Amino acid sequence: MYIYIHIPFCCNICSYCDFTKIYYHEKYVDAYLDSLEEEIKKRYKNEVVKSIYIGGGTPTCLNIKSLEKLLKLTLLFNKDKSYEFSVETNVELDIEKAKLLKKYGVNRISVGVESFDNNILKILNRTHKKEDIYNCINMLKKYFNNINIDLIYGVSNDINVVKKDIENALKLNINHISCYSLIIENNTMLKINGFKNIDEDIEYEMYNYIENTLTKNNFIHYEISNYAIRNYESIHNINYWQNNEYYGFGLGAVSYINNIRINNTKNINKYIKGEYEQDRIKENKQIRMENEIMLGFRMLKGINKEIFYNKYNKDIYKIFPIKKLVEENLLIEDDKYIKVNNKYIYILNEILIRLIN
């Protein structure tokens, strides 16, 4: 089983973020963690856990006492010997919190870098500067050997910003880089302030530059936005893309158990009162197969035909117009897998629309 834990608190709200988050407020934190503990005890059935992922929000914005209280909750899980334990953090993480993460078995850190360009960081309402990134990663390397950074591109039309970001990311000598194109979501400060997307052709040029440069530097492009040195792919996220089961605990978290998608409330007062769930949706076979397509084709390896058949007792070729897209060279197949042609992975959404509609 795979576990996601959501910590909604942030000391600073980024201009692009539409995740479930609230400003850090001491009076809520203890009550939230108490409620989180009760939810875990109520729902977790002692399955063997292969991955724990604590995201947010900013989990490490908790003070040291609260952060330890959170990490102690992970002792409730029956962990596999080779489990992956990831925690998201901002660049501002201090050494005492890093040591605490290490003490409780965290073995993968994901750092919200976003950019090395101070002007871009200002637009995104990040509070760190370029030099802080190097200090943070150098400190983390003393305790962790599995480090990811998140980068955002497409904030500016200037491709030189992207080139410098990738150059600086490679200098860090880390083993995982996630690169996301900026999406201007509703109810974010960027949207409210009328910020516009950059030209699509320039964004595509940026995507190609990132892929070509990272793959030339021994990174495997294993998912549309994710690059890893071999054997450092995110076990947790691969489980999502394979449409397998997972628990989601915390405000706004999602679980997928026994073909039921459970959406937690995004109202912190309800959550603290123990009213965890917003709704439960039972997914029929057609919905599950469509999700398998939408998620599975995000991975460059694609979808395993045998696994699809064993899961659904259906021939994937009879459910979706795979053959037609293979004939058009949008999809590629071999004995085991069907995948999106690398040349067209950037237009994945258009391909999915043709497959599912």
Higher-confidence position of 201 and 219? 219
In a domain, 186, yes or no: yes
pLDDT band at 23 (very low <50, low <70, confident <90, very high): low
Mean pLDDT in residue range 78-105: 95
pLDDT band at 176 (very low <50, low <70, confident <90, very high): very high
In a domain, 100, yes or no: yes
Mean pLDDT in residue range 132-137: 94
- Give me 85's structure tokens: 């334990």
Instruction: Give the CATH number of the domain where residue 19 resides.
Output: 3.20.20.70
The reported pLDDT for the residue numbered 183 is 74
The reported pLDDT for the residue numbered 288 is 94
How many other C-beta atoms lie within 10 A of the C-beta of residue 126? 23
In a domain, 347, yes or no: no
Number of domains in the chain: 1
pLDDT band at 20 (very low <50, low <70, confident <90, very high): low
Mean pLDDT over the full length of the chain: 91
Distances from the Cα of 8 to the Cα of 15, 56, 330, 354, angstroms: 16, 5, 39, 36
* C-alpha R_g of the chain: 21
Q: Is the pLDDT of residue 222 over 80?
A: yes
At 62-77, the pLDDT tens digits run 999 999 999 999 999 9
Distances from the Cα of 296 to the Cα of 2, 129, 194, angstroms: 17, 36, 34
Q: Is the pLDDT of residue 9 over 90?
A: no
Q: Is the pLDDT of residue 199 over 90?
A: no
Q: Is the pLDDT of residue 50 over 80?
A: yes
**Calpha distance 205→48 (Å, rounded):** 43
Q: Is the pLDDT of residue 19 over 70?
A: no
Residue with tokens 């709200």: 13
Q: Write the Ramachandran bin of 125: left for phi over 0, alpha for psi from -120 to 50, otherwise beta.
A: left
Q: Is the pLDDT of residue 351 over 70?
A: yes
**Calpha distance 59→89 (Å, rounded):** 7
The reported pLDDT for the residue numbered 181 is 87
In a domain, 157, yes or no: yes
Residue 122: give the domain boundaries. 2-240
The reported pLDDT for the residue numbered 187 is 72
Residue with tokens 């400190």: 139
At 299-316, the pLDDT tens digits run 999 999 999 999 999 999
- Give me 347's structure tokens: 């237009």
pLDDT band at 129 (very low <50, low <70, confident <90, very high): confident
pLDDT band at 141 (very low <50, low <70, confident <90, very high): very high
In a domain, 95, yes or no: yes
pLDDT band at 254 (very low <50, low <70, confident <90, very high): very high
In a domain, 226, yes or no: yes
In a domain, 245, yes or no: no
DSSP state of 337: E
Of 68, 85, 79, the residue nearest 44 (C-alpha)? 79
Whether residue 242 contacts residue 296, with contact meaning beta carbons closer than 8 Å, is answered with: yes
Q: With 0.85 as the threshold, say if the pTM is over it.
A: yes
Q: Is the pLDDT of residue 21 over 80?
A: no
DSSP state of 246: B
Q: Is the pLDDT of residue 257 over 80?
A: yes
In a domain, 350, yes or no: no
